[in-house]
Amino acid sequence: MKPNNRAPRLILALSAVVALACAPAPRVAATPAAVTSTQLSANDVKWSRTSAEHRAIFIETYQAAAERVATLSAGHQPATWGVILDADETVLDNSEYELGRVPFGGSFDAPAWTRWVMEGRAPALPGAVAFTSRVRELGGKVVIVTNRDDAECPITRSNLDRAAIRADLVLCKTTTDDKNPRFDAVQNGSAAPHFPALAILEWIGDNIQDFPHLKQSIRDGSDDGFSRFGDSYFALPNPMYGSWQSNPFM
């Protein structure tokens, strides 16, 4: 994910460091008082990288989104509609970078993140290639809206190509983290020269802010606020980082 959205991470539980460093050391159990809302557990990274459940959720979500977009796109002319997806932890898997941060307490490191991004070898997450291919087969356009810095956009496009995510347009961050102006630009035809205005039929992301005008505060309301999820909004899990880290610990 982009550096400036990341909350600072505190000291990782010693047991996790021991497990990854393969060096014997006393195990210290974290007490409830020691757990903070921004603490990264090695479990977060392990679940994301190794669990069958993570893979299952990504596959089922993308399959559901593909089935739904086939219905939603009926009657739309080709190249007049599209979908908007986030990049990091939505179509691109950066968990290798996250794994590398675990021995350092999971703290975000801008130079390390930049090095990872510039390697351009983040793999596709499960289901993402099939979904984006299906959208294009149906006549839709695939738009990636990411808060990676604009200077990182060329390598991000290369990374997407390498991962077989065929995007018609990639919009990186320019002046604001807020994705809504870019969502609007895609829909009103001002996003890029010669790129048509699109009816956006679906949004997919791992952060609530990947969806128009949504923030963590949606959780304070009723379930009615989530009515578009499973219809035109599809959310993916990310236990490693996200805007949820700023929520009060309960």
Size of the site for Mg ion (CB under 5 A): 4
Cα–Cα distances (Å) from 138 to 51, 52, 143, 156, in that order, read: 32, 30, 15, 25
Nearest to 43 by CA among 239, 237, 207: 239
Nearest to 120 by CA among 92, 82, 100: 92
Q: Which of 81, 85, 89, 167 binds Mg ion (CB under 5 A)?
A: 89
- Quick one: 13 or 202, whose CB is closer to Mg ion? 202
Residue with tokens 């959310």: 235
Q: Are 142 and 85 in contact (CB under 8 A)?
A: yes
Q: Which of 9, 85, 86, 97 binds Mg ion (CB under 5 A)?
A: 86
**200-219: which residues touch Mg ion (CB under 5 A)?**
206
Calpha distance 146→2 (Å, rounded): 8
Interface mask toward Mg ion for 92-111; x: CB under 5 A: --------------------
- Quick one: 73 or 238, whose CB is closer to Mg ion? 238
- Quick one: 86 or 202, whose CB is closer to Mg ion? 86
Q: Which stretch binds Mg ion (CB under 5 A): 39-47, 53-61, 86-94, 165-173?
A: 86-94
User: Which spans of this chain sit near Mg ion (rule: CB under 5 A)?
Assistant: 86, 88-89, 206
